[in-house]
A and B are shown apart, each in its own frame.
Chain A
């Protein structure tokens, strides 16, 4: 179609059939539009209301415990439901240690996987590998727990823990009888669960590093690894940190798999072989059996702490990821 076209006046056919076409049945569209807008707004406000509701319920539920113990709640290590003395220190300790142990194991692996998928592997392998690692994230927590109880824990008891005790025993972190069940098992199963989330965020931020960066570094005569290290990883480091923190958020709140293998004993032990307890597990185990209002309130206060910590962690992570990916064209448009 070149050149100016003659303006053809479209013939308006008033077809009585078309008038009944439901799409064009106008009605009073101002009113209808208003109602529709309002209904969608209500749905959106539901999301806000939910977070408000969560916060309100947790705060009002934990008031009793807050009045009884105050901020000291998180620094006391007694957990005595009979005498109504509660302190969350062992749970905070167990949550932090198991999560950091998980990150220690998961982060190098996750970054390795991301580097391999985005920069190294042949193209035909990219899709299947990415799908397989995402599949790890789709396995429910309870199935990881089941597998850990019957496969991971016996292996640790028989081989893993004696091995660690012999060669790393001098650190003092691998002492005591190898039960299998304990902090180490929890850390390992958490690591397996955290890897996909860290590696998928890392992949995302690595892909958003401009291609010219890679080409420039290669043009300077770098090897592939030098290119990845200086051209990609260094540019994406804030986003990768964000992915790691997001993984931390997931590890902190993870409940079932940890509950099934950590041993559930509110103690603070130096050895990773010893059983522990996490904030999420104590809620899972004791909430439905909690007798007495202070007991329930103490559990809800632990939930509140978990909620606040994971929110802070998630916001921080999203901000870090955003600092790297903001320059790239967004996946969606308006």
Chain B
């Protein structure tokens, strides 16, 4: 994949956009994004500005200032007063609502963007895309007569058949079960092996990031927080809202006690001095107030004080709640500060865990992430 991407890197999206959507609101979108061919995920909580960004890229909304370039073509440049209208940008955009035309059949929907193409070529492209997205048996049906997954496939097919230079997807797979989602994403990936265009995929679902993730751009409150591989961006969140969105169940207030630079760690006192833990060294000074994010699934739970561990953080506490949710058990543990811990139902049985029992939490130093 990497070599292929490098060959056609000239087709990348490079954009920098400033936009104040409503005159009265304080929200301002101010971002620079780059997306090489392949799937780039735009991740962030709702209201972060993801959809506004896509609207600007597609030309449906005019940025206040900035520049949008796909490959060689300049689609928008406020300095040069270039603003190509949406119908001439060659960008495909699949909305969350899909916006299939209700009065047209699946085939007519797919044909919609191919008006100016010679008959023969058009037929060939329609047949190809109908097959690639597995909707060839539905061609005569209206959108109201097909299932949710079929509608999503049709919407993708309708956008991609126009052979766009950039594909924008605004949570197009919301509401589908994981299996169906994976199948559609597979079709999308297969299609893009040949076309190799940048795809910007908006989501606020952590699972979709893990399933799709080549690259992630994390965005919140109109700003790009960080970008890179999903692991780097989401496993070490630097902002609180991003930490919550990325599924860090434990967000704890802490005070820096001291820095141990030679060990690459520092000690934090949690809450009102209930307990101390060791976390990776960060740019901070003793006495600073910080927040630390820990995934509930990254915490080990023991029914006796563990010994002989490499983990530096062993905290004693008492289990205050235990609740099974699907295949995981969610435990609340009071260690002076409250922790949420995920354990398997099997572990609950083996360790005979129950509310009121004393337990020990084990945290690896590098499972503790400092957030700004």
Q: Do A and B come from one complex?
A: no
Chain B residues within CB distance 8 Å of chain A: none
Q: Which residues of A contact B (CB under 8 A)?
A: none
